Amino acid sequence: MLTLLGEGGFPIWFLLVFGASTLIFATRYASAPTGVWLRVTLCLGAATLLTIMTCVSASLAQVGHHAAEYHQVHPELTLADVLLQGFAESMSSAILGFTILSLAALILTLGAYRGQTS
């Protein structure tokens, strides 16, 4: 988990805030299913999704800006190695964010089930 946070860069903090809010409101919806809680959760989920895209884009931009100088400092690596490592680190935000959204969807499913049975 700490590796994901370290590799995600500064925008990952926004992802954590929006993701945690999404999970909190999904749990609120699961405990008392109403249309208001569902809509708020879905909107926060959309904000989380857009933040994932922002995080990945920012990370890929950093790779593009710094790959050449990193390659100069580490000539034993090929440029492809440097770019692949940068791409892998850039995906850490997507891994964390999509995990949060998957958990939120699972919690929303529980709420939808509870709403049908009550």
For 63, the enclosing helix (H) or strand (E) is helix 35-73
Name the percent of the chain lying above pLDDT 70.
98
* Per-residue pLDDT reduced to its tens digit, 20-36: 999 999 999 999 999 99
d(CA 62, CA 59): 5
Give tens-digit pLDDT for 59-98.
999 999 999 999 999 999 999 999 999 999 999 999 999 9
Q: What is the largest CA-CA distance in the chain?
A: 65
